[in-house]
Structure 1
């Protein structure tokens, strides 16, 4: 077997078995993902340490550590007893990887170490099989984050998660509250409960709530069909046309980073991240009713978070994620520990659309911690 051709998950392999030969046409490999990511990370100006962190179960998590090269040595030599700053740990969303933080890593590492890692089953991390049970799939993700923390040797952290990463970060904070100094959720996925057909979402009063337009029927129909497969199966099934599909359907990724790259670097990165074995993708499918809804809505478990744990939620004003979940969290937890920040002119990828605002908000949160 060609080593550059990733194996399919059992469910996906069954769904495209009649194509037989087509998946072998995929113009991807872990080597191509590595080289594309290296081009992205070459933009980082601070000290970068990238490596695989081996977990207790021998799975590997691809990890970046970024530190400020202009302050690291003076702190170590002139003031060796100075207290270390709480590190910021960044968890990407569905289908992403560490390269998507390229607009944020330098700015956020100016005063403290920043860690970013590829979730288990995504990017360059190990791609094991996941249970089909939602709770067990979530547990596997969260356990891998805790094993990663133990392997890296962090006592506590400021934990930031985007989209799916926000869902998993919240689950982690519930199970390991002593390790989280501040929880930052960026357009988090999987919080609201899915209402029965025909039931309207109740109005929630609050200045921070932004109502989203109702999805057209054709979008709902497409989502229903896609729910029968892993969410990004079409990219892999398209073989040599896969990169073109990403360019066509996600041109925004090129625009968001066009001042850094004048070519298709970012869309190639997205393609190579998701043209490999759909491991984490299968885990996500196990946890979701459809792409937009979680089988185990996180709002049901928000009361399990320690009431004193500071929590900040950032939403893009033009995002498809409904910010009313944030207002519900404020109602559940109280305004003393829960804050909502709306970012104008930003979509779901707040950190890339408005990196200036995103970085400033996150830096201010970090400075409040220490």
Structure 2
């Protein structure tokens, strides 16, 4: 089958099927942004937005959408606000999508939902993807790699890096970051028997690591706030 036409109605329908697996109430909305190319809108989902804790923002990878977080949103939003945004654009379309459906087949019975969802996410006019495009050149090459400036990050900001043991990415980057931040908190987690999409392959493990990292941030923030209060008391 060859698709050649984007349908916003079809994308909304497919996304609705995927998000219907969530147990937590959620809200979807557009956020207006100003880019050099003009005004755009970023499609966003929010959960537990009433919480006063530091929000968690999820940004998906190439050729995906907010629906890809369906295994993670419930757990991650239990005690804090969670937002996920769409980075869209036709240039992100990937030919090989057969393995995507398999990662969600236990919660989405219809194996055509995710491949179709991926297509309609990427067949529309670009929105947030324009911002991503301005930061990279070619395929996956950073215009201004964070590794070259990670040592400039404030020392009291803890970092948690999560890799799949079978990912195509260079997981040695984690140790390089640790070496560049010798007096800082850098936690490296490698999830066994997972590839690049570890959030869907072993969601329970992934969710636990992210929740633990968020709690570490909460403790750090509480300490900093107490220190500020003591200085001004």
TM-score by length of 1: 0.53
Q: Which residue of 2 aligns with 1:252?
A: 99
Distance in structure 2 (CA, Å) of the matches to 1:297 and 1:331? 16
Give the superposition deviation at 1:283: 5.5
Q: Say if 1:54 and 1:285 are closer, same or farther in 2 by CA, change over 3 A.
A: closer
| Residues 109 and 115 (structure 1), Cα distance of their counterparts in 2 relative to 1, 3 Å cut | same
Q: Which residue of 2 aligns with 1:109?
A: 77
In 2, the alpha carbon distance for the partners of 1:297 and 1:67 equals 33
**What is aligned with 2:162?**
314
Please state if 1:268 is matched with 2:109. Answer: no
* Separation (CA, whole Å) in 2 of partners of 1:43 and 1:335: 42
Within-5 A mapping of 1:29-68: 29-55=7-33, 58-67=39-48
Q: Distance in 1 between matches of 2:117 and 2:86?
A: 13
User: Cα distance, 1:367 vs. partner?
Assistant: 1.9
**2:160/2:189 contact within 8 Å kept:** yes
Check whether the contact 2:53–2:81 (CA below 8 A) recurs between aligned residues. yes
TM-score by length of 2: 0.81
Instruction: Measure, in 2, the Cα distance between the counterparts of 1:255 and 1:39.
Output: 16
Map of 1:100 onto structure 2: 68
Which secondary structure state, in structure 2, belongs to the residue aligned with residue 53 of structure 1?
strand
SS state of the match for residue 59, structure 1? strand
Structure 1 Cα separation of the partners of residues 122 and 106 of structure 2 = 24
Distance 1:36 1:353, change over 3 A: same
**Residue 337 of structure 1, aligned match among 168, 180, 185:** 185
- Distance in 1, matches of 2:191 and 2:19, equals 26
SS at match of 2:53: coil
The aligned runs of 1:226-237 (5 Å cut-off) are: 230=91, 232=93
Runs of 4 or more consecutive aligned structure 1 residues displaced over 6 Å after TM superposition: none
Paired position in structure 2 for 1:207:
none
Which of 53, 73, 86 aligns to 2:54? It is 86
More relative contact order, 1 or 2 (CA 8 Å, 6+ apart): 1
Tell me the equivalent position of 2:230.
none
Provide the secondary structure at the position in 2 that maps to 1:85: coil
Larger radius of gyration: 1
Number of aligned residue pairs: 213
- In structure 2, C-alpha distance between the alignment counterparts of 1:111 and 1:306, rounded to whole Å: 26
**CA, structure 1 residues 66+317, in 2 after alignment: closer, same or farther (shift >3 Å)?**
same
Q: How many angstroms apart in 2 are the aligned matches of 1:108 and 1:329?
A: 25
Q: In 2, distance between residues paired with 1:308 and 1:338?
A: 11
RMSD over aligned Cα atoms: 2.6
Q: Is the 8 A contact 1:50 1:63 kept in 2?
A: yes
User: Structure 1: any 5+ residue segments left out of the alignment?
Assistant: 1-22, 73-82, 128-229, 236-245
Structure with the largest fraction of strand: 2
